[in-house]
Structure 1
Amino acid sequence: MNENLFTSFTTPTMIGLPIVVIIIMFPSIFFPSPNRLVNNRLISIQQWLVQLMSKQMLSIHNNKGQIWALMLMSLILFIGSTNLLGLLPHSFTPTTQLSMNLGMAIPLWAGTVLTGLRHKTKASLAHFLPQGTPVLLIPMLVIIETISLFIQPMALAVRLTANITAGHLLIHLIGGATLALMNISTTTALITFIILILLTILEFAVALIQAYVFTLLVSLYLHDNT
């Protein structure tokens, strides 16, 4: 039976019911809650990484922007752990779904924009019209800046979806090619298998990098509006 190339991206079901909510909540199990912390190396490494990321992302923010610290740290941990768990065999990666990524990007983007309109109304509206613009170009620039503003959440979601989906497809294709070449040429199959291992290592890096890029862009949008 021929398997569809995009079968791994379909939402899994159990007894006819989608279990994507359970899958989305699953990564939180790996992060201990404060009331059951035990001093060990794993928790110490987690705390060190969280402090390092928060220090790097929040160093450019003022007091109003630093209020979002918990949101930003939760976001990068959620996306990163979800991407990594999606690399396990017979698993499902929720971040390959554009609808879910839009569900994260649009509220975060809207929150930063509304924050800017509330605290920096004049500065936020000034972005639509750079200083010194000729009168004839004012309508065109306002339209272009408005479109670029509303396209930001789409760019966030599409970037994450495309990178994660492309990596999964490459692993699927090269893995299938390796199995097909085993009966034809052992040497060629060995070469493709080495490429598959290297690509898998790269996907682990991409999973973490995309989580960082998504959160960093949200942080930059927040910095522009606080």
Structure 2
Amino acid sequence: MTMNMFEQFMSPELLMIPTATLSMLIPALLIHHKPKLLGNRTTTAITLFLKMVMMNMTNQLTPNGQKWCKMLMGLLFMILLSNLLGLLPYTFTSTSQLSMNMAMAIPLWMATIITGMTKKPSATLAHMLPEGSPTPLIPFMIIIETISLLMRPLALGVRLTANITAGHLLMTMVSTATLNFISTHITMGTMTWLLLFLLSLLELAVACIQAYVFVLLIILYLQENT
């Protein structure tokens, strides 16, 4: 009997206790750091990666915005490792859950808004009305910009969830077809296996890109409010 494709997104349980929390904490456990005088290859690679990301993503932030760098880099690592670990067999992808992604998106979005309202309220409120708007359209422009602002956290969470979920479903369907063809039609089985291999490489790229996009959008929202 073929397993329901959506069962892979259900939270695993052990003795009737959900273990999704452990899956979310695994990326933090993988980063083990001890103070040393000399770094090893892992710490050197992580340091170079952090320098490259911070130069490209946070270089245009104001000094107040750059105070968020540690939290943003930690968020990037957590989403990246969660996406990559979810590609392994028999694992639970925590970033495929809309509840987790919204729990990250809403507080961060709200924090950027609160920062803007406390640091420079006039400039933050000015984003609600584009410059040069016709006077009769001002109320409608304010309503449209307000709705656009409120949709930002929803877009953050849904984008990450949809991309991770769609990729895993596609890999499940292709792998099921490969198992069915491999014993009946060698040529079709080989072609679907090649497609599955290419799709796995694509999902590796998507896992990295979606982590980058999530943090980049938070940085853009922060740049508007600092």
Q: How does 1:72-151 map to 2 (within 5 A)?
A: 72-151=72-151
1:61 match? 61
Structure 2: which amino acid aligns with 1:165? T
| Change over 3 Å in CA distance of 1:50–1:170 after alignment to 2 | same
Structure 2: which amino acid aligns with 1:212? Y
Q: How much does 1:129 deviate?
A: 1.2
Q: How does 1:143-182 map to 2 (within 5 A)?
A: 143-182=143-182
| Change over 3 Å in CA distance of 1:17–1:115 after alignment to 2 | same
Structure 1: which amino acid aligns with 2:208? L
Q: Percent identity?
A: 46
| Change over 3 Å in CA distance of 1:208–1:119 after alignment to 2 | same
Q: How much does 1:2 deviate?
A: 3.0
2:23 match? 23
2:213 match? 213
Structure 1: which amino acid aligns with 2:110? A
191-200 or 132-141, which deviates more: 132-141
How many residue pairs align between the two structures? 226
Map Cα deviations across residues 151-185 of structure 1 (whole Å, 9 max, x no partner): 00000001100110111011100000001112331
Query: Distance in 2 between the 1:37 and 1:27 partners?
Result: 25
SS across alignment from 1:33: coil
1:193 match? 193
2:3 match? 3
Structure 1: which amino acid aligns with 2:124? S
1:52 match? 52
| Change over 3 Å in CA distance of 1:37–1:220 after alignment to 2 | farther
Q: How much does 1:130 deviate?
A: 1.8
182-191 or 76-85, which deviates more: 182-191
Q: How much does 1:138 deviate?
A: 1.1
CA RMSD of aligned residues (A): 1.2
| Change over 3 Å in CA distance of 1:82–1:38 after alignment to 2 | farther
SS across alignment from 2:56: helix
Map Cα deviations across residues 22-62 of structure 1 (whole Å, 9 max, x no partner): 11111112212353686221221111101111121110011
- Structure 1 unaligned segments of length 5 or more: list them: none
2:39 match? 39
SS across alignment from 2:35: helix
Structure 2: which amino acid aligns with 1:186? I
- Structure 2 unaligned segments of length 5 or more: list them: none
TM-score, normalised relative to structure 1: 0.97
Query: Distance in 2 between the 1:126 and 1:34 partners?
Result: 47
